[in-house]
Amino acid sequence: MRTSIDRKGLLGRLDGAPADALESETLECKGWDQDPRRWKVQVRETREAVVCLANRRGGTILLGIADGARTRKEAIVGVGDLDAEALRREIYRGTAPPLLVEIEEWVEPEGRLLAVHVPRGVPPHTTTEGIGKIRVGKECRPLTGADLTRLVLESRSVDLTWEVVAKARPADLDPVQVKALRTLLAREGGKPALAALTSKEMLANLGLVRDDGVSLAAILLLGRGAAIARFAPQHEVTVIRYDSPTHFDKRYDLKEPLLAVLDRMQRILEDHMRLTSVQERGFGELLFPDISWLAAREAILNALAHRDWFQHQSVFVEMRPGRLEVASPGGFLGGVTPDNILRHPPVRRNPLLAETFQAIGFVNRAGLGVDRIYEDLLRSGKGIPSYEADEAGVRLKLPTRTHEAFARFVAEEERARRRLDLDDLVVLWTVTARGEANRKSAARNLQLSEDDASDKLAALRGRGLLVARGRGRGTSYRLARHLSDLIRGRAATDLDIDLDEEAARLRVQSVLAERGSLSNADIRGMTGLARQAAVRLMNRLRDEDLARVAGRGRSARWLPGPTLVGKSKRGRERGGRRSPRE
């Protein structure tokens, strides 16, 4: 429980720095008035500080150090003969749920201090008077409604699947599912020796059944229908197929054991997913399903292994036009977000369930499920998956439409033994989808720093797959022309070719005459010119009376100048005049 503190170094900093400079998210300094009349007020303030730290990460409160003093002698005011045990009891009695702190006595030449070590609690905690606070940086701030919601959800991050289910017995497990588990252990799992044990020994070695009873994980994986309905009523996987954005034509409510749910899910997806045929150069043919069972299984397993079993909500698998969506109750834990999930170490909400999936070969201990989803989708030309999350749940969207040329290119590279790793695929897809990429857009999709993303772009340029335009941090990358022709098509590639100055000039004059008004952004977009080059071009057109500017700054618009208006008028007149032969 005790927080590790360099006592000597910490107090040594009091010479030259005020006490509040020592404070952090886990350390609070508080003075102590030894007047007995101030006892109740100071105990109340200490309880609030304890609650504040417990609702975040825990920490230490140093009692007897005054704020603002610039020397150690002035800062250490001490606590006198304050009874540490009495204070500990008052904190316990005055917090809800009760917090048991550890109090350490520090005797210094300047006075006696108390270090109140606060454990990280199971939030939300308040005082018995109803005061709730949370540590934000160095401050204790009131708990808001959003904070309370988040803390309630995060406090449920204990592994409910490990808990023994009251009144559940081994007879509540379905022998057919136990046999299926044994088969998976022998055929696919990392612990085939377990398959040779008796059922009781096998389940005990997996931690599903213990001397004190049957775990919830065992009921979820292997339970009979009646046992699941009784002991795990929150378990349900709802599968819906939408034939339009707002209407569905198929719905399946699956309440079977998880092993049976996975078998049923595979059959449902295979029945409803189409195959896309991609012709290879030559006479070969590649077949790509809307979604492979590998990617779908990883997504569904993640939803089941990481869902919050405290919540009485279903896992939803939705087959929508152009994508498959998997939504599960319970937000991300341990710092995982949609913006770092590809790189963040795995954080498991239900370790026993996840470890059982690992033992039967369904998931990898290293937490590579997200990597597998990304790689499978990209190799089959689907694109990059997207995650949405809040405190209540996570939704994963898997694209199902096939970019045939991209899938064909990846397959041919693999056949030629030119291996493309996951980062290569992410970068190449980013460039394919956007037409170009820079260090910023590549970093966002790779979930890496911009410097690391820049290295990935440069490496693909070195392999002849990308070409660069510009210099320094403003460099952008496109597919090499031969590759762009192959993946994006010649028409798209031709549009990417930079215009020379005269071509840019003619294009601007033509579009300006037709539209009658252009913004600076319009001009840069149609010419591909950088900001300064576009300014120089328009200034020349203005000097020749071909363009004029109206407004300033971002609201400025370029309008046809007198000369351009005259040219346009003469052109229209010639176009309307009949020839002598007509």
494 vs 54, higher pLDDT: 54
Helices within 391-530 (DSSP H only): 404-415, 422-434, 439-446, 450-462, 481-487, 490-496, 501-515, 520-527
Q: What one-character DSSP code corresponds to residue 281?
A: S
54-79 confidence digits (pLDDT tens): 888 889 999 999 877 778 888 899 99
Report the C-alpha dihedral over residues 82, 84, 90, 95, rounded to 10 degrees: 120
98 vs 45, higher pLDDT: 45
| Average pLDDT, integer, range 494-521 | 80
424-447 confidence digits (pLDDT tens): 999 999 999 988 899 999 999 999
Q: What is the pLDDT of residue 582?
A: 36
Q: Distance between the two ends of the chain, CA-based, in angstroms?
A: 100
Q: Which of 224, 40, 22, 287 is nearest to 138 (CA)?
A: 22
Q: For residue 315, give the H/E element and its range.
A: strand 315-320
Long-range (24+ apart) CB contacts under 8 A made by 435-444 are: 435/478, 435/488, 435/492, 435/496, 436/469, 436/476, 436/477, 436/478, 436/496, 437/476, 437/477, 438/474, 438/475, 438/476, 438/477, 439/473, 439/475, 442/477, 444/339
3-state class (DSSP) for residue 399: strand
3-state class (DSSP) for residue 496: helix
CA distance 262 to 268: 10
Instruction: Tell me what percent of the residues of the chain surpass a pLDDT of 90.
Output: 49
Q: Is the pLDDT of residue 155 over 60?
A: no
| Average pLDDT, integer, range 208-221 | 92
Q: Which of 167, 380, 154 is nearest to 287 (CA)?
A: 380
Pairing of strands 237-244, 213-214: unpaired
| Average pLDDT, integer, range 150-167 | 71
Contacts with 559 (C-beta within 8 Å, 6 or more apart), sequence order: 512, 516, 517, 547, 548, 549, 550
Q: What is the pLDDT of residue 117?
A: 92
Q: Is 534 exposed, middle or buried (0-12, 13-18, 19+ CB in 10 A)?
A: buried
Find the length of the chain: 582
Q: What is the pLDDT of residue 18?
A: 81
| Average pLDDT, integer, range 15-30 | 85
How far is CA 191 from each of CA 298, 471, 560, rounded to the nearest angstrom?
A: 20, 54, 77
Q: Which of 432, 423, 374 is nearest to 403 (CA)?
A: 432
Give 579's pLDDT tier (boundaries 50, 70, 90).
very low
How far is CA 441 from each of CA 376, 438, 477, rounded to the nearest angstrom?
A: 21, 6, 11
Q: Which residue has the tokens 């320094």?
A: 472
Q: Provide the β-strand partners of residue 511.
A: none
Q: Is the pLDDT of residue 564 over 90?
A: no
Q: What is the pLDDT of residue 282?
A: 63
Q: What is the pLDDT of residue 455?
A: 94
Give 365's pLDDT tier (boundaries 50, 70, 90).
very low
Q: What is the pLDDT of residue 156?
A: 47
**What single-letter amino acid sits at 153?**
L
| Average pLDDT, integer, range 526-530 | 77
| Average pLDDT, integer, range 272-294 | 83
| Average pLDDT, integer, range 549-559 | 86
Do residues 222 and 181 touch, judged by C-beta distance below 8 A? yes
Q: What is the pLDDT of residue 569?
A: 59
CA distance 450 to 456: 10
- Report CA 373 to chain centroid distance, whole Å: 14
Cα 462–466–471 angle (5° rounding)? 85
Q: 3-class secondary structure for 228-248? A: HHHHCCCCCEEEEEEEECCEE
Contacts with 210 (C-beta within 8 Å, 6 or more apart), sequence order: 164, 204
Average pLDDT, rounded, for the chain? 86
Give 524's pLDDT tier (boundaries 50, 70, 90).
confident
Give 498's pLDDT tier (boundaries 50, 70, 90).
low
| Average pLDDT, integer, range 361-376 | 76
Q: What is the pLDDT of residue 201?
A: 93
Token pair, residue 221, equals 């994986």
Give 580's pLDDT tier (boundaries 50, 70, 90).
very low
Give 158's pLDDT tier (boundaries 50, 70, 90).
low
Q: What is the pLDDT of residue 3?
A: 52
Do residues 536 and 544 touch, judged by C-beta distance below 8 A? no
Pairing of strands 386-389, 102-108: unpaired
Q: What is the DSSP string of 1-15?
A: -PPP--HHHHHHTTT
User: Residue 430 phi/psi, 5° resolution?
Assistant: -60, -45
Pairing of strands 102-108, 133-136: unpaired
| Average pLDDT, integer, range 332-360 | 87
Do residues 170 and 201 touch, judged by C-beta distance below 8 A? no
Q: Which of 540, 537, 561, 559 is nearest to 550 (CA)?
A: 559
Domains belonging to the chain, first-starting first, are 7-154 (3.30.950.30), 157-260+296-369 (3.30.565), 420-496 (1.10.10.10), 501-576 (1.10.10.10)
Mutual angle of helices 520-527 and 531-543, in 10-degree steps: 110
pTM for the whole structure:
0.63
Do residues 9 and 32 touch, judged by C-beta distance below 8 A? no
Q: How many CA atoms lie within 13 A of 330 on its CB side?
A: 28
Contacts with 419 (C-beta within 8 Å, 6 or more apart), sequence order: 413
Q: What is the pLDDT of residue 154?
A: 56
